[in-house]
Every structure is written in structure tokens, then in C-alpha cells.
Structure 1
Amino acid sequence: MKPPSIDSTSFTLVDDLESLAYLADKLSEANEFAVDLENNSFRSYQGITCLLQISTRDADFVVDPFTLRDHIGPYLLEYFQDARKRKVMHGANNDILWLQRDFGIYVCNLFDTMQASKVLKLERNSLEFLLKHYCGVIANKEYQASDWRLRPLPYEMLKYARKDTHYLLYIQDLMLEKLHDSRHTGYLAVAFKKSYEVCVQMYKKPVFNYWASYRQLPGLAKAHLDVKQRNVVVALYAWRDKVARKEDESTGYILPNKLLLEIAMKLPMSKNQLLQITGPKKHIVKNADLLIETIRQCVGDDDVTSGSSGKTFQPKG
């Protein structure tokens, strides 16, 4: 049966220990529940979970980690790890890691509707598509890029967040029906195997290495940089990582990848030249003199005037 509308479904904003205990009681009674997370990775070095949405067959819950971060794991982990209870998630690759990172929660018995949609060879695999395809529900794109750190959360943002789990158990029902179909021999086993592979991922804290990490920079291979330009990439990469860690910001917020590569390719030798590339970004303006000096060290003193040096820069720290 299609679930009732969101407006007619019981809803609890879980932002204190009393409501968290109530959620735990509901999960203890449930055979399955749907889960989703909202994360902010643009203004945090490692990212931070801003919301945890959970739906049972008859109720929706939105958990506020900002007030309950140290309690979510102790109250809920046993239900996520209980193999008798199925957890239904969509595109859970990141969510699985965030649950481990922020709450020490590991998931056992997962059905990932994105993996199932790929096995069923649906036209598209997004949750937005599944909501429309199976439920006739149109997702409001207005809130896709919302800042989920906002408090208090407006009603419409809460409603949008609830949609991510409210219909998932019903979507699972319809998908299982298709996967059980005799025309799709083996599809059910494949869907569960792929879901299993998602939930056994293990979170590993990223380790920064100057000479290895920078090679992961998108667009680096196609930039065809020479030795001096690569030296600048390594130095800027190390500088922004240090600043991002210190201020708990994402590296992309400190200095986007595209601008980092552009600086390395153009090798600005003055503050004005640097700001012509980046614009008046706060961290660039504040550290412009340091960055120019770093670039000069990378290309060599002789190269600043004659363009003759290509020595390798050794980052400090």
C-alpha cells in the first residue's frame, strides 16, 4: 500500500534525549526502517552530518545531530546492526561512511534502492526519479543544495528532508516485487549482493601526504604541467590543506581546484596578478604575500628574472 501523505503522517523532530529514546523504542519494534543523511562538506574539513532522517511504516523522524551527536550511537547503533531488521537507503555509499565516522554506527542488512534500480535497468537511478516513477511525487529541487547547518530548520526544509525516507519502504516493496519476477532470474540476489558491498565499506580517516595526495587533483593530468608548475601545485595543495584543517573548512572553500591549477599554470609573480586569477577571496587576500613568495621559491630565484630554473620545491611542515 502506498504510504499516506507526509502531512498526514506522524512526525517527530528528535532534538533531545526524551525524543531520541522514543525513536529507539520505535526502532526496537520495527522489522525495517528507511534511513538518509544530510551532510555538509563545503564548510567543514572532513564534512559533518547535519541531519539523520528515519522512517518506519507509520512515522517519520528527523534527528538533529548538533544537539545529540554523542548520544545517537549509544541509543541507535544496536538497531542499525541488528541483522533481523532491514535498513533501506538510497545511494548509501557516503551515508554508510558518515554513520561510522560521526556516530560509530555500522549497518547490517541493507537494501540500497539505487543498486536495485541499476539491477532493474531503470531509465534513471536518482531518488528524484524513483519518487516520481513509483509514487508520483515530484521532489522540490529548490532544497537540493540547502545549507543543512541552518537552525531552526524551516518547515519546508524539514518536509523536503522527510521525503528522502518517507516513501523508501514502499519503493522497496515495488522493487522487490520486480526483482522476484521470474523473468529477472538472479536479479534479487545481485541487488542484495551489491547492497552488501555498500554496507561493508569501512571509514578510514584521510591521511595527507604532500607528494601523493596532490596527484588526486581533478584536471591535473590534462593540464600538462612542467616541473616548476607542479612544484607550485604541491606547495599550494599543502598550504590550503594546512589552512583548511586549522579553520575546519573544506579545501575547496579555501582554494577551489580549478583556481589552484590556474595559478600553477600562469605563475603570478605579484599580488595583483594573483588576485586577477582568484578574485578577492578572503584567504587569498589575507595570504597573498605568502603565496607569491611560495610561488617564487617553487620556480627559483633565477627564474623570476630569467626563466631558467626548474628545481624541485620541498614543502615545509
Structure 2
Amino acid sequence: MKEIESLNTPESERYVYVRELAAMGALVRRIGAAERVALDTEADSLHNYFEKVCLVQLSLGGEHYLVDPLSGLDLTGFLEALAEKPLILHGGDYDLRMMRASMAFRPRREVFDTMIAAQLLGIEQIGLAALIERFFDITIGKEGQKSDWSLRPLSEKQLCYAVNDTRFLKPLAERMRGELSERGRIDWHRESCRAMVESTGRDNARDPEEAWRIKGAGRLTRRQLAYLREIWRWRDTHARSANLPAFKVFGNQQILDLLQWAESHPGAPLHQGPKLPRNIVGSRLSTLEEAIARAAGMAQAQWPELRTFDRGDAPRTDCKEQIDALRGECARIAKELEIAPSTLAPRAALEAIAWSRPRSLEEIMESGGLLRWQAELVQGAVEKILMR
């Protein structure tokens, strides 16, 4: 309780900004002596095409550290020491993926994710700020969420914001661990965290032949998909060359609006179509016109193929009723457990299970991509509905 009462004091906001060799050496020694480490990162994905980790925040033993990976420091010893400690993160999927991509970092010990814990406890508001307010009645600011963390120097406001991302994690994890244990869900959490960590160690490289299929592509015809592919490739080329996130060049909805207009107005000048962002001038504009012209002149044989799930194909008649029944039964189970149905079993998982008709717990896990605790909870419903 004493630690919780001291969370919102001026002393609790103090931090060490690690940009020099001596400070890094001291931090590595502190990590070595720590029982566990609260960890978070800040990246520049909202401001750069080639995203990277720009700041690493750590809290351990009541002390807070901000490590600047852009300072030129050798991080080898730091990352090695960190990998050997149990970690606490919130929504660690993104942080661990970014640290793997930017620093080749992989944790070797247990990871406790407070966002996953919140989902398993049936908490609706699972953001870190909401959880801190819920458990400790402390309100933290969100001013730094959209900062460009790649710029230097970082402001005092940015650094204080960054500290807040880890200074509450240890007491928060302790409270949530207690509630998970009381409700018999600590094993669910361990399995879920292990699966999350494992997933972040796999490459999710985009297939260049499929990356252009943005949300909404499933409603398009083959001819419209040809426009989508050409405009998307145009955007990606300019985003790369300017090192800007794609949405800052041309948004997905803007692509969809433009392609539908262009298809129905072949040869019309672009200024007659949907209003373009102010940054679409000069070579960006001329190359966009060329992309649209390529799509317009493309032979039907060159149009992209539809994907069955793009068209929203309905399940087979003999399967749809069972899918609906399975979803209803799982929703009932989730309600009894006071968790979201998607936490128990996502809709896509239930559809895959209904189609494959698994006959064992292992087959339920494999066909639906479910964890063991999830499969055990839905097994009765699967047997009741699919094996009758």
C-alpha cells in the first residue's frame, strides 16, 4: 500500500535519462540486481515510413530510466541484461515486435502483460491510463501519444509522459495478478502471454502481391481492384521516398473514393474528381495520373483476382446454422465468465472450427488457432453442436 500511495508524488516522477556510457553502465548493473523490470517503448511510426524504436522506458526498484537508442550508445550489454529479467508490459505485442526489428531483442523470461490481464478480468476499458485510474484513482495525461519521438532534443513534457508508461506497471501487475489468481485465471494469463511473446518472434513480412488489399477491398470488382493496386503502389513509392507513413501521403478512404470515381470517369482530369490533399502536386500528381492511366488501360486478364473471403461469401448452408449456434453458445459462456466473447474465441476461430469439424481438444486448438484454456472452455459447445 505504501508503494501505491507514493505513486503520484513528485519523487515518483524523477528519472535518469540514459544517453552516456557511464549512465548505461550503472543501469545495466541495476537491471542485474532487479527482480523484474517494467518496460515500454516509444517509436516513430506516426511520422516515418521506416519506423524504429526511439526511446526505451524502464522502471525497476522504484527508479525510472529512459534509454535513448538514437544516442549512439552500444546497447548490447543493456539488451542482454534485460532479456534475462521477467518483464512487465502493457500491450507488449507492439513493443516486442519493434524491439526485435530495431534491436534484435527477445525476452527469455516470463512476460506479464497488463492489457491481456485486463481482458481476462473482463475489464472493458483496457488502455493503460484507464487502468491506472481504475485501480489507483490517478489520472495521467496523454499529451505525448502523437509526439515525433525521433526528433531531438526531447522536451521535458515528452520525457515525463514517457516515464508514466512504466512507473505504474509493477503495482498494477501485482493488483491484477492477485485478481487473476482469485478468479482462477492466472494460468490463462500465463499461456496467453507466452503465446503473445512467441508470436512476436515470427516475421510478419507483407506479401508484396497482397499488401495493397486494404480494408474495403473486399467490396470491389476486379476492375476496381486494378485501380486500387496501381494507386496503392503509387502511394507506397512516394511514402518510401519521403520516409512518411502512408496515411500522410494519401489515406485509404481517399484511395477508395478516387478509384471509384476514376473507374466511372475514364480519361477525365483529376481536378474534376474527389478533392486531393494539398501535397499531391508536381511529380506526385503526374505519377498518380500515370497510375490511373495504367489501371484504365489494363487488359481484363491482368486484373487482380477476387479472393473468396474478399467477396464476403456466406458459409455453406449446412454450416451457417452451426456457426450461428456455436457463436451463441460461446457468447453465453463468455457472459457467465464476464469476459468479451472475442476474448474467449474470435469469430473467425469459431467459423474455422465449424468448417473443419474437429474431433478432439487438440484439433479444436489447431483448427481455430485457440489456446488450450480457450479450447477447453469451448470444447463442450463444439461437441454439443458439431458432433450431434
TM over 0.5: yes
Alpha-carbon distance in structure 2 between the residues aligned to 1:80 and 1:170: 20
Q: Deviations over 1:209-265 (max 9, x none)?
A: 2x32222x01222xx333332211111112222222333222222221111111111
Cα displacement (A) at 1:50: 1.8
Counterpart in the other structure of 2:66: 62
Asked if the contact 1:229/1:264 (under 8 Å) is kept, the reply is yes
Alpha-carbon distance in structure 2 between the residues aligned to 1:248 and 1:123: 36
Counterpart in the other structure of 1:75: 77
Counterpart in the other structure of 1:304: none
Cα displacement (A) at 1:285: 4.2
Alpha-carbon distance in structure 1 between the residues aligned to 2:293 and 2:7: 64
Do structure 1's residue 18 and structure 2's residue 17 form an aligned pair?
A: no
Do structure 1's residue 105 and structure 2's residue 94 form an aligned pair?
A: no
Kindly tell me: are residues 207 and 141 of structure 1, through their superposed partners in 2, closer, same or farther at Cα, counting changes over 3 Å? Answer: closer
Q: Residue type matched to 1:272 in 2?
A: H
Counterpart in the other structure of 2:45: 41
Alpha-carbon distance in structure 1 between the residues aligned to 2:35 and 2:45: 32
Asked if the contact 1:36/1:165 (under 8 Å) is kept, the reply is yes
Task: Give the match's secondary structure for 1:66.
Answer: coil
Counterpart in the other structure of 1:143: 144
| RMSD of equivalent CA atoms | 2.2
Counterpart in the other structure of 1:227: 222
Alpha-carbon distance in structure 2 between the residues aligned to 1:6 and 1:48: 32
Task: Give the match's secondary structure for 2:88.
Answer: strand
Cα displacement (A) at 1:8: 0.6
Asked if the contact 2:239/2:249 (under 8 Å) is kept, the reply is yes
Kindly tell me: are residues 203 and 62 of structure 1, through their superposed partners in 2, closer, same or farther at Cα, counting changes over 3 Å? Answer: farther
Task: Give the match's secondary structure for 1:65.
Answer: coil
Cα displacement (A) at 1:125: 1.2
Counterpart in the other structure of 1:204: 203
Asked if the contact 2:234/2:291 (under 8 Å) is kept, the reply is no
Counterpart of 1:188 (choices 186, 189, 208) is 186
Written as runs of structure 1 = structure 2, the 5 A alignment for 1:274-289 is 276-282=274-280, 284-289=281-286
Task: Give the match's secondary structure for 2:147.
Answer: coil
Aligned residues: 294
Q: Residue type matched to 1:114 in 2?
A: M
Cα displacement (A) at 1:23: 1.2
Q: Deviations over 1:83-106 (max 9, x none)?
A: xx3100001111110110111110
Percent of pairs with identical residues: 22
Counterpart in the other structure of 2:10: 7
Counterpart of 2:54 (choices 35, 50, 57) is 50
Gaps of 5+ in 2: 305-388
Task: Give the match's secondary structure for 2:53.
Answer: strand
Written as runs of structure 1 = structure 2, the 5 A alignment for 1:255-294 is 255-267=250-262, 269-273=268-272, 276-282=274-280, 284-294=281-291
Counterpart in the other structure of 1:162: 163
Q: Deviations over 1:119-172 (max 9, x none)?
A: 111242111111111222102133222222232222222111101100100111
Q: Residue type matched to 2:101 in 1?
A: R
Q: Residue type matched to 1:122 in 2?
A: I
Kindly tell me: are residues 179 and 311 of structure 1, through their superposed partners in 2, closer, same or farther at Cα, counting changes over 3 Å? Answer: closer
Written as runs of structure 1 = structure 2, the 5 A alignment for 1:121-132 is 121-132=122-133
Task: Give the match's secondary structure for 2:65.
Answer: strand
Alignment TM-score, normalising by the size of structure 1: 0.85
Alpha-carbon distance in structure 1 between the residues aligned to 2:207 and 2:243: 15
Cα displacement (A) at 1:56: 0.5
Task: Give the match's secondary structure for 1:157.
Answer: helix
Q: Residue type matched to 1:296 in 2?
A: A
Counterpart in the other structure of 2:153: 152
Do structure 1's residue 241 and structure 2's residue 241 form an aligned pair?
A: no
Asked if the contact 1:300/1:310 (under 8 Å) is kept, the reply is no
Counterpart in the other structure of 2:309: none
Cα displacement (A) at 1:195: 1.1
Asked if the contact 1:143/1:157 (under 8 Å) is kept, the reply is yes
